A and B are shown apart, each in its own frame.
Chain A
């Protein structure tokens, strides 16, 4: 985590205060982490991207994979700044070319994540980006897609972690980097 075992970067608090918590969305009992308020603050949004870019710019990342849809808000800016490709990981039937898919569990039922097979290959070092990690199901599916085409997943990066849901443990030992925790 960004502030574990080291002096916390002064930008972190500014980012955390801009995330709005909306109770009982999409249903009762869920405290929804709303990043749209962060996007309304140009300085805090820039700080968010800068923190990721500073971490990854010298790690030879060749692909940033972002999870639809909120991963699309953060991933491309990171990819552009570090000189990497951006690959969108999408809901079913949105990608027009040849795809592979991974299923993942929802609370009720399952969903699928798709990726263009030709977008990534065995030479690639990949970063997976989403706005938030909860149970880790979606990130785990994303990592599987990248591994199946032979890419090396270097790290998963999220703005927010919900540590009580233990998503970190579903990443099969791959590191997770987050800016803020919500307990």
Chain B
């Protein structure tokens, strides 16, 4: 669910975060309004607010693992993990992780891709949150949930900075709660 519906209604930090995200029309192809979080990373205060909101939410939820989806999940996940004293697990594109891996495939618009995770990195029943910058269809997050559940972990929640409209009203992903800070920015909002 959106942060504004879940205790943070009117929180000025959410507006600062939203304002810091740049929308780039027609990237990577025509018709797509790309939500660019690199401008958020240039705004130290807004970036810190982003991490603080997630940390405040998860610090008392006995989360022992933060799993981040390559590559933009790596920009947010480790800072959250460090602040709440959790392990960080990178979920990576095929062929990058050097040890024994399990993998899960997921749909792209044309074709499919795979996500990999090192085996033996989570204990059964460990409580996990999964982080990515943005959720659109939920395909990547679904694959991530499958990987972690196959190792016996309990996925407590999926967390993203931005949630696309497809996701609104759909508070769960494979039965798991979804927590999102902001909706997509529009073209005119970025100065």
Residues of A at the B interface (CB closer than 8 Å) are 20, 22, 25-26, 32, 34, 36, 39-42, 45-46, 49, 68-69, 72-74, 76-77, 79-80, 83-88, 90, 93-97, 116, 119
- What 8 pairs across the A-B complex have the smallest Cβ distances? A72-B74, A96-B24, A22-B98, A25-B98, A96-B27, A86-B41, A39-B88, A69-B71
B61 in contact (CB, < 8 A): no
Question: CA A77 – CA B47 in complex, angstroms?
Answer: 11
Contacts of B22 in A (CB 8 A): 97
Please give me the residue from chain A that is nearest to B47 by CB atom. Answer: A80
With A36-B90, A119-B42 known as contacts, the answer to whether A20 contacts B79 (CB < 8 A) is no
Asked if B75 and A46 sit within 8 Å, CB to CB, the answer is no
* B95 on the A face (CB < 8 A): yes
Contacts of B75 in A (CB 8 A): 72, 76, 86, 88
B78 and A39 form a contact (CB under 8 A):
yes
Least distance between A39 CB and chain B CB atoms (Å): 4
List 7 other contacts, CB 8 Å, given A42-B87, A69-B90, A73-B74: A39-B89, A72-B71, A76-B41, A86-B75, A87-B42, A97-B22, A97-B24
Give CA–CA (A49, B99) in the complex, Å.
Answer: 24
Give complex CA distance A77, B82 in Å: 9
Contact digits for B65-85, partner A, Cβ 8 Å, 1 yes 0 no: 000001100111011011001
**Is A79 a contact partner of B44 (Cβ separation < 8 A)?**
yes
With both beta carbons as reference points, the residue of chain A lying nearest to B64 in the complex is identified as A42
Q: Is the CB of B41 within 8 A of A85?
A: yes
Interface string of B39-65 (1 = CB under 8 A from A): 001111001100100000000000000
B85 smallest CB distance to A (angstroms): 5
Please list 20 pairs of residues, one from A and one from B, whose beta carbons are closer than 8 Å in the complex, sorted by A's number: A20-B99, A22-B98, A36-B90, A36-B118, A39-B81, A39-B88, A39-B89, A45-B81, A68-B71, A69-B92, A72-B75, A76-B41, A77-B78, A80-B51, A85-B44, A86-B47, A87-B42, A88-B41, A90-B71, A97-B24
Whether A76 pairs with B79 at a CB distance below 8 angstroms is yes
Q: Please tell me which one of the listed residues A20, A39, A76, A95 contacts residue B90 in the complex, with CB atoms under 8 A apart.
A: A39
- Residues in A with CB closer than 8 Å to B28 are 93, 96
- In the complex, the answer to whether B24 meets A26 with C-beta atoms within 8 Å is no
A95→B99 CA distance, assembly (Å): 29
B183 contacts the other chain (Cβ, under 8 Å)?
no
